[in-house]
Amino acid sequence: MTAKASSPAVDPDAPLLEVKDLKVHFHTETGVFRAVDGVSFSVRRGATLGIVGESGCGKSVTSLGIMRLIAQPPGRYAGGEVKFEGRDILKISEREMRGLRGGRMGMIFQEPMTSLNPVYTIGDQIIESLRAHGVADRKAARKRAIEMLDLVKLPSPETRVDDFPHQLSGGQRQRAMIALALVNDPELLIADEPTTALDVTVQAQILSLMRDLRERTGAAIVLITHDLGVVAETCDDVVVMYAGQVVEKAPVAELFSGPQHPYTLGLMAAVPRLDAQTDRLETIPGSVPPPYLQLPGCRFASRCPLATDHCRAAPPPLREIGPGRSVACWRAPIEEIAA
């Protein structure tokens, strides 16, 4: 196992990660781009939280914000807290953050071919991470790298450790990326669309691998995806995002049995079904409003079949409607509407 900085004394029942009113804005020629605008959620130790929503809703920027990987400028943290084991990591030094990032906090990026360095072997990149976080002996680090590649079920890890990223298939690169993210035994793993651009069979293998690794290591996982099927199969809790904000939070079983936000209902209605009576796929009418617009009411109002004048005039707060359930909708709780 790798050498790690000692963890501060914390309440084992407290959330591992707490994101409170996080705001990440970008300054552009058209105005302030509010990519993440007041996002709040928490992640329990050893649990998997899914973050879902359309492309452009702020999922990936949220993950980069948590890892403090937002380029400043053009981006900036406009407000909020990101507490890891009770400590606001937005207020610590960059040196301290580098000690957490890649160590106790790992991340699997969306496209490993652009995340892995093309001029270094897979093994060298894993070894570099190990040595940056306390493993001084290169021979021991190489042995650990091979063990990790074997753990993520990369074929022939003893030889693949000396391969460059372009010599691996897409699924193999993703496995190498997971090995790199997990090599220092992180307490928290953020996976940003880990199965994007992979075929269905490889997607299933990667998701099965992540579930297996969670059981083995006990790491909490934040899984970012647009695929509700992946969420249903993998996650314990779900956060639904729309236009930079959280619109619903719930345990996964409760969300699928009774979604309480019209946007969540629309996402579920758009999922293809084998028992569908028509070949036509359902869609949510309209489009996401530009993030630089300051709308007076609910950001989903222009696309919502339940919207009233009150919805268009005042933004709904994210409020609790039951144990572990929160929704940002004036009409909630609502009955399921016909697609």
What is the DSSP annotation of 269-289? HTS--TT-SSSPPP--SS-PP
Task: Give the integer Cα–Cα distance in Å for 261 and 263.
Answer: 5
For residue 94, CA distances in Å to 1, 20, 167, 181, 247 come to 25, 21, 34, 19, 32
CA triplet 87, 92, 93: central angle to 5 degrees?
A: 160
pLDDT, residue 169, reads 87
Bridge partners, residue 25, by sequence: 34, 76
pLDDT, residue 337, reads 44
pLDDT, residue 213, reads 77
Domains parsed from the chain with CATH numbers: 15-104+186-327 (3.40.50.300)
> Please, are residues 189 and 182 in contact by the beta-carbon 8 Å criterion?
yes
User: Among residues 227, 238, 247, which one has the least CA distance to residue 298?
Assistant: 247
- The pTM assigned to this predicted structure is 0.86
pLDDT, residue 299, reads 92
pLDDT, residue 71, reads 87
> Please, are residues 85 and 10 in contact by the beta-carbon 8 Å criterion?
yes
- Give the strands of the sheet with 245-251, arranged side by side: 105-108, 188-192, 220-224, 48-52, 237-242, 245-251, 325-327, 319-322
Bridge partners, residue 108, by sequence: 191
Task: Give the integer Cα–Cα distance in Å for 263 and 179.
Answer: 35
pLDDT, residue 1, reads 44
Q: What is the DSSP letter of 43?
A: E
For residue 220, CA distances in Å to 15, 215, 291, 317 come to 10, 10, 30, 28
> Please, are residues 16 and 93 in contact by the beta-carbon 8 Å criterion?
no
pLDDT, residue 114, reads 75
Cβ partners under 8 Å of residue 303, min gap 6: 263, 266, 284, 285, 286, 287
Task: Give the integer Cα–Cα distance in Å for 315 and 296.
Answer: 7
- Would you give per-residue pLDDT tens digits along the chain (339 residues)? 444 444 455 566 788 999 999 999 998 888 888 999 999 999 999 899 999 988 888 899 999 999 999 988 889 999 999 999 999 999 999 989 988 888 889 888 877 677 888 999 999 999 988 888 877 688 888 999 998 898 888 889 999 999 999 998 888 888 888 888 888 888 999 998 887 766 777 778 778 877 887 888 788 999 998 888 889 888 999 999 999 999 999 999 999 999 999 999 988 887 776 665 666 777 888 888 887 788 889 999 999 989 999 999 999 999 998 888 999 999 888 764 433
Length of the chain: 339
